[in-house]
Structure 1
Amino acid sequence: MDKFFKFCILLILIFCVNFNKELAVENLCLFRATTGFPCPSCGMTRAYIHALNLDFKNAFKYHPLFPLPLFLFVIIAFRKKVKIFDSIYNNNFLIICLIIIFIGVYVFRFINSFPYEEPFTYNYSSHVYTILEILNLVKNN
């Protein structure tokens, strides 16, 4: 089977799966499970689940940059076959700009949403919070 056919089968399988929009995410992210704080990609999994269910409004709500990793994956995967993708891949200025945008969106979301709005809530069952409770350094809710 050629690679394109395998890729098409994979896409069909992805769209046929019934994704659960209420996915428990507290332990999916190692950063959040450890520190309790949301990471820069917090909400990305739920954004993709909503996007695969064609619910783009909620997908952008969970992470406004959710198309970016897919875009970067396509560029990396096809950089040898498509000349423009190779030039994008080797453009350090563009890569730095994308990193700055990603960090800027994270800071903006952290300031405006933490700790009250999903996906930027604090994980009180995180390892750090549990250790602080054991050491009696935080008040119990």
Structure 2
Amino acid sequence: MKNKTRDLLFFVIAIIIFYALLFALGFTCPIKAVTGISCPGCGMTRAYLSLLRIRPDLAFSYHPLFPLPAIFLLAYIFRRRLPEKFKKIGMILVLVLFFLVYLVRMADPSDDIVVCRPKDSIIYRAYEYVIKK
């Protein structure tokens, strides 16, 4: 049990360090940086930062599903006490919710968090750089 807790803690710390490095380099989302298309989780980090600043209204505007990772962490901690059926239904529900929120946000042209701008991607810029040379 202690090894699993230590591994989970190590994993969470590694993710935090990874994202801190990305922010330091000017990237907010690795998928968006490479493709120019936002991922379904875009806005999640900004939502948590807003929550730390005690701005839940702003947090929900960045990503309305931002509480779910914390709920997943609790579910992981108590996974042995949860019925298998509950875990499966919960996972499907979360995936459907993320997909629906992503589609709605992607279809909203006024949403500047979830965007589709392939010309801003690293791939496109590299392509232009190679073509112009």
TM-score strictly above 0.5? yes
**Greater RCO, CA 8 A, separation 6+:** 2
CA contact (8 A) 1:36 1:125 kept: yes
Q: Which residue of 2 aligns with 1:4?
A: none
Q: Residue 94 in 1 paired to residue 94 in 2?
A: no
Q: Residue 119 in 1 paired to residue 107 in 2?
A: no
Q: Residue 30 in 1 paired to residue 30 in 2?
A: yes
> d(CA) in 2 for partners of 1:36 and 1:25?
16
Judged with a 3 Å threshold, the aligned counterparts in structure 2 of structure 1 residues 25 and 54 are, in CA distance, closer, same or farther, namely farther
Match of 2:124 among 114, 129, 137: 129
Larger fraction in helix: 2
Q: Which residue of 2 aligns with 1:52?
A: 52
Aligned length: 109
Instruction: Provide, for residues 65-122 of structure 1, a one-character-per-residue CA deviation record: whole Å limited to 9, x for no partner.
Output: 0001111111101223xx3xx2268531221121011111011101114xx5331243
Where in structure 1 are there 5+ consecutive unaligned residues? 1-22
> d(CA) in 1 for partners of 2:25 and 2:101?
20
Judged with a 3 Å threshold, the aligned counterparts in structure 2 of structure 1 residues 68 and 41 are, in CA distance, closer, same or farther, namely same
Judged with a 3 Å threshold, the aligned counterparts in structure 2 of structure 1 residues 72 and 134 are, in CA distance, closer, same or farther, namely same
Where in structure 2 are there 5+ consecutive unaligned residues? 1-22
Q: CA deviation at 1:124?
A: 5.1
Out of 37-46 and 90-99, give the one that drifted further: 90-99
CA contact (8 A) 2:105 2:111 kept: no
Larger Rg: 1
> d(CA) in 2 for partners of 1:25 and 1:111?
29
Q: Calculate the TM-score normalised by the size of structure 1.
A: 0.65
Identity of aligned residues (%): 32
Q: Calculate the TM-score normalised by the size of structure 2.
A: 0.68
Judged with a 3 Å threshold, the aligned counterparts in structure 2 of structure 1 residues 91 and 47 are, in CA distance, closer, same or farther, namely same
Q: CA deviation at 1:58?
A: 0.6
